[in-house]
Chain A
Amino acid sequence: MKTRLIPAIVVVAAIAGTAGCGSSSSSGSSAGSSGGSSGSGTTLTYWASNQGATIQDDVKVLTPELEKFQKETGIKVKLQVIGWPDLLNKILAATSSGQGPDVVNIGNTWAPSLQATGAFMPFDASALSAIGGKDKFVAASYATGGVKGQDPTSVPLYALAYGLYYNKKMFADAGLQPPTTWQELQADAKKLTNPSTGTYGMAMEGGSYTESVHFAFIFGQQQGADPFNAQGQPDFTSPGMVAGVKQYVDLMSDKVVNPSSVQYKNGPEAPGDFANGKAAMLMSQNNADNTLVADGMKTSEYGVVPIPAPTGAAQNTASFVAGINISIFKNSKNKAAALKFVNFMTSPAEQQIFDVPFAALPVISGVTPNFTTNTQEAQTFQQILATRSVPLPLVANESEFETNVGNAVNQLIAQAATGSAPTSAQIKAALQQAQDKMAAAG
């Protein structure tokens, strides 16, 4: 314990000093007595990720449900909603100090990386049966819980998927139908672009490395390319990966997106352009609905189709399995209570309640999505998630893959925005550099 205390202080201090995040984590619960404590009088600490427009919104949504849980089980839940920029750092600090909450939300793409830390409780057979069995989950989402072949250290909580939003009126005025192939999408985007009026065919979050890596992965998959080989070694420079990255970067090279969107990185900018009629299409996860509605767009004004693949593509992948998972810290003293809580959060009734404000898809099989009143949109997203989504690589260095490849793609988009379209050779060189960095630093 002592050997861990000093490093813990260092990491927390370092994080507090650099990331500007505030107090260190409170330790689990004080009221919980033994590892098996699961009944009345137990207090759980829960770190929730920020899903709604603001942290206060999330507190409003979650609080009545946590009170309901307390009424049912006698277990009190201390809630802390954490903003996205701080969440991973706080989890890392909790991991290294051993002083964390009992239950925490994670971005599902972090699952294998966090599993590798060994700080999270594996959901073995008995834990899974305590939360209703693995078969209650949508298979695609459940697959993101950790590395293949090991007990997952997280289970799905909210599911999300990418779709292609299109502005119905702009398409109708131009006499266009929603695209079914990537080539059609490119042609439509060109037709709908008019720089003199400041309207473009496509909106883009060109400064966000997470968006960049998501599309590099999705389009690479369409070309039949995997970023990691069977041995788990990075393989970023295959012709399929290069073509996939080019497919995304070419939107900027072809000038069908506003060059300024190379600086968009916070989330609401690209949906904002789409909502304000500055862009005719938007490739986004379904929680963009919140932003679109907040920006004054009606759900009847847009349609959603799967992001199309190029003609003759190897696969018709339209999204990766996006979403939020929920984990229990290994050194929680209230594992049984925590399992009850996870079971509650992933119950069909609660899923129906949370999916509306958080614009999420259900992670439970057989639950009808209700995050939008637009039934066609809801069905489209549910189908994309169930049949056309692939998890991001389930490898321990997934987060490094996201950073290195995402940043390489960002630099290429910046190059395209400032006037010179990246060639396949330049893209390959950039990906090679990202791969070399992974090998050397790992």
Chain B
Amino acid sequence: MAAHPTTRRAGGRHARRLTPYLLIAPAIVLELLIHIIPMLVGVWMSFVQLTQYYIANWSSAPWQGLSAYKVALNFSSPVGDSLLHSFKITCLYTVVVVAISWFFGMSAALVLHRKFRGRGLFRTLFLVPYAMPIYAGIMTWNFMLQRDNGLVNHVLKSLGITDGQTFWLIGGNAFWSMVVIAIWRTWPFAFLMLLAGLQNIPEDVYDAAAVDGAGIWRQIRYITLPALRPVNLVLVLMMFLWTFNDFNTPFVLFGAQPPTSADLVSVHIYGASFVNWNFGFGSAMSVLLLLFLLVVTGAYLLIFNRRSRRA
């Protein structure tokens, strides 16, 4: 850094102080317009009775205070009960999808981290589901899962596993179909992130461990996993948030009204807002969801960051 000339005008110092703020101003304005203000409007909406009677004139919607929240959280009523059911389904969906996607991503990253012929081909192949437009991918799955002319039943029947008459998109199977598709879409991202993380672990650490007689599993346990910790911390959080808020998979697969077993919270809220025309109630559920995710994310970061500092 060169020393500052002492003969600088005061105005110049002023301008220098302002420059960073001016530079980030457009971003802040846009962030306010696109994210923050609509979010606050959404919170306000949850306190008013915004139904079809008032959507043409929002300001006239009557104040309802916390009553939408009371309805949503009254688990003995059918509305609260169906929200609770939807919440449980979403939790199960998230846990299964994130866990299996992480496991697949980790396994593939470990295998493809070592050099071998054809490695590039596999890397490209594994990234296809992630690179594919979401809608096209899910629509294709939808065709594959049809009962009469779907590929899945056809293959299962030819292999003699089932009679080829299984329904994959209604009843309890709908949930597992949705899980499989979500894993198919999510794991390449885990694979990509973990592969990048593995590149940063110096080879000689492994060599030293091998000399000391550590086998492959011990190396993974004591070198790879601890070294990947910062990557995993962010990766799992991102996958959790994406999966929990997943709207595309159920919506494209089942439409606005999925089967009960696949009624994820995001679609459930969409149904309350745009199918039943009750925007106030939909917003209240969105706010509850947001609070839940904030608490979970905060707790997660607090626990793991503290552990990281201790480590």
Which chain B residue shows the least CB distance to A415?
Answer: B171
For the complex, give the distance between the alpha carbons of A440 and B148 in Å.
39
- B19 interface residue per 8 A CB criterion: no
> Taking the complex as formed, is B38 at the interface, i.e. its CB lies under 8 A from any CB of chain A?
yes
Q: Are A396 and B52 in contact (CB under 8 A)?
A: yes
Query: Are B58 and A4 interface neighbours, CB within 8 A?
Result: yes
A-B contacts, 14 of them at CB < 8 A, read: A3-B59, A4-B59, A7-B58, A13-B34, A14-B273, A95-B56, A98-B56, A114-B52, A403-B271, A411-B260, A414-B259, A418-B167, A441-B278, A442-B51
Measured CB to CB, the nearest residue on chain B to A329 is: B56
* Residues of chain B within 8 A of A117, CB atoms compared: 52-53, 55-56
Please indicate the chain A residues that have their CB under 8 angstroms from the CB of B155 in the complex: none
Q: Mark B27-46, 1 if CB is under 8 A from A, else 0.
A: 00000001001100110010
Partner of A18, one of B51, B56, B77, B274: B274
Indicate whether A399 reaches chain B with its CB closer than 8 angstroms.
yes
Contact B57 A118 (CB under 8 A): yes
Residues 268-286 of B at the A interface (beta carbon under 8 Å): 270-279, 281
Query: Which residue of B is nearest A96, CB measured?
Result: B55
Chain B residue at minimal CB-CB distance from A411: B260
A436-B277 in contact (CB<8A) = no
Q: A96-B58, A411-B259, A414-B170 are in contact. List 16 more A-B contacts (CB 8 A).
A: A4-B59, A10-B41, A18-B274, A89-B274, A92-B274, A95-B55, A96-B55, A96-B56, A116-B53, A119-B56, A209-B257, A262-B167, A263-B146, A403-B257, A403-B275, A437-B78
Give the size of the chain B interface in residues (CB under 8 angstroms).
Answer: 45
* Complex CA–CA separation, A95 to B71 (angstroms): 27
Q: Is A399 in contact with B276, judged by CB distance below 8 angstroms?
A: yes
Inter-subunit contact B53/A396 (CB<8 Å): yes
**With an 8 A cutoff between CB atoms, is B255 at the interface?**
yes
Q: How far is the CB of A197 from chain B (nearest CB, A)?
A: 14
Binding site for B on A (CB under 8 A): 3-4, 6-7, 9-11, 13-15, 18-19, 89, 92, 95-96, 98, 113-114, 116-119, 207, 209, 258-260, 262-263, 265, 330, 396, 399-400, 403-404, 406-407, 410-411, 414-415, 417-418, 433, 436-437, 440-442
Question: Does B82 touch A at the CB level, under 8 Å?
Answer: yes
Task: Confirm or deny: B169 has a beta carbon within 8 angstroms of a beta carbon on chain A.
Answer: yes
B141 at interface, CB cutoff 8 A: no
Q: A4 and B167 in contact (CB under 8 A), knowing A400-B277, A411-B259? A: no
Taking a contact as CB atoms under 8 Å apart, the answer to whether A6 and B52 are in contact is no
Judge whether B184 is part of the interface by a CB distance below 8 angstroms.
no
Main secondary structure of the interface of A (DSSP, over half): helix
Contact residue among A6, A95, A265, A330 (Cβ-Cβ distance under 8 Å from B255): A265
Measured CB to CB, the nearest residue on chain A to B68 is A441
A18: chain B residues within 8 A (beta carbon): 247, 251, 270, 274
B residues contacting A by CB (< 8 A) are: 34, 37-38, 41-42, 45, 51-53, 55-59, 71, 77-80, 82, 146-148, 165, 167, 169-171, 247, 251, 255, 257, 259-260, 270-279, 281
Q: Is the CB of B170 within 8 A of A263?
A: yes
Complex: A19 Cα to B251 Cα, angstroms? 9
- Given the interface pairs A7-B41, A441-B281, the reply to whether A400 lies near B56 with Cβ below 8 Å is no
Please, how many angstroms separate the alpha-carbon atoms of A411 and B259 in the complex?
Answer: 7
**Nearest chain A CB to B164 CB, angstrom units:** 11
The CA of A260 and the CA of B145, in the complex, are separated in Å by 12
A176 → B minimal CB distance (Å): 26
Specify which of A10, A259, A396, A414 lies most central, judged by the most chain B CB atoms within 10 Å of its CB.
A10
Indicate the member of A7, A19, A437 with the most B CB atoms within 10 Å: A7
Known contacts A263-B167, A441-B272; A6 and B37 CB within 8 A of each other: yes
Given contacts A10-B42, A440-B78, contact A113 B277 (CB under 8 A): yes
CB distance from A84 to the nearest CB of B (A): 12
Give min CB distance, A267 to chain B, whole Å.
12
B213 to A: closest C-beta gap in Å: 56
> Who on chain B is nearest to A435 by CB?
B78
What is the chain A residue whose CB lies nearest that of B146?
A263
**Cβ A3 vs Cβ B56 within 8 A:** no
Given the complex of chains A and B, what is the CA–CA distance between A440 and B257 in angstroms?
19
- A436 and B55 within 8 A (CB): no
A399 CA to B274 CA, complexed, in Å: 10
List the B side residues contacting A265 at CB < 8 Å: 255
Cα-based distance from A14 to B34 in the complex (angstroms): 11
9 closest A-B pairs by beta carbon, nearest first, are A436-B78, A119-B56, A440-B79, A96-B55, A414-B170, A10-B38, A7-B58, A260-B147, A260-B148
Residue of A nearest to B34 (CB): A13
In the bound complex, what is the Cα–Cα distance between A166 and B199 (angstroms)? 68
Q: Contact between A440 and B56 (Cβ–Cβ < 8 Å)?
A: no
Question: Contacts A113-B277, A260-B148; is A414 near B171 (CB within 8 Å)?
Answer: yes
Known: A407-B257, A437-B79. A262 touches B55 (CB 8 A): no
